[in-house]
A and B are shown apart, each in its own frame.
Chain A
């Protein structure tokens, strides 16, 4: 069975600095997707970034980028120029590829990010 591990329950970063959140996963599949979602206190999960496993290039979205190491099964999120609005719970999620027949997300336990002014 696939698993997702986030080993950092909580992280802190100074405003305008850079922080990296870690995620590792376990799978025997070759076709899958990886995601980072942000969950502020309002509870709504917001998509931050998505990576297709077949793509070697790391995904980027403005200040957010990932370091995807497929062989090591590692998928870390880097937030540059951190802003107060980045403070939230961040979840790493895994989804099997569309050919697998099962499309559920498997989430990690989350990392709470605090941004210090």
Chain B
């Protein structure tokens, strides 16, 4: 596609529910990143994939957060047993190589009630 596509654009869930956020990177981009952006803050790194390999997950805040990219293309960020502090915008970015600039999607705004 022309750009990084994320879905859904908005997600509202009740506390305790599981959610799944999808990222479709630019075709041919081997690197994929997930960031969490709290209201009024800069994005914070969650995890990074090189093709299907998850090479860095140091930013995942707890074991409730899980990300996968099984075929080296589409990625899913899953949050189990959501809590109110999980409310944020989740941004996905991809790059052709790790030393190339990252291209960002529009993000998914997650609201936990």
Contact = CB atoms under 8 A, between A and B. Distances in A.
Interface of A: 4, 33, 35, 37, 42-47, 50, 91, 93, 97-98, 102-110
A46 B99 CA distance: 17
Closest 9 CB pairs of A and B: A107-B42, A98-B99, A45-B104, A104-B45, A103-B98, A43-B107, A44-B106, A47-B101, A109-B42
B18 interface: no
B48 A108 contact: no
26 contacts: A35-B101, A37-B104, A42-B106, A43-B89, A43-B107, A45-B43, A45-B93, A47-B102, A47-B103, A91-B42, A97-B99, A98-B97, A98-B98, A103-B31, A103-B98, A103-B99, A104-B56, A104-B59, A105-B33, A105-B43, A105-B102, A107-B43, A107-B44, A108-B42, A109-B41, A110-B42
Interface in B32-65: 33, 35, 40-45, 48, 56, 59
A21 B57 CA distance: 32
B110 interface: no
B105 interface: yes
A60 to B, nearest CB: 16
A103 B43 contact: no
Contact of A45 (B41, B91, B97, B99): B91
Interface of B: 31, 33, 35, 40-45, 48, 56, 59, 89, 91, 93, 97-99, 101-107, 109
Nearest to B34: A104
A21 to B, nearest CB: 14
Contacts of B109: 43
Nearest to A35: B101
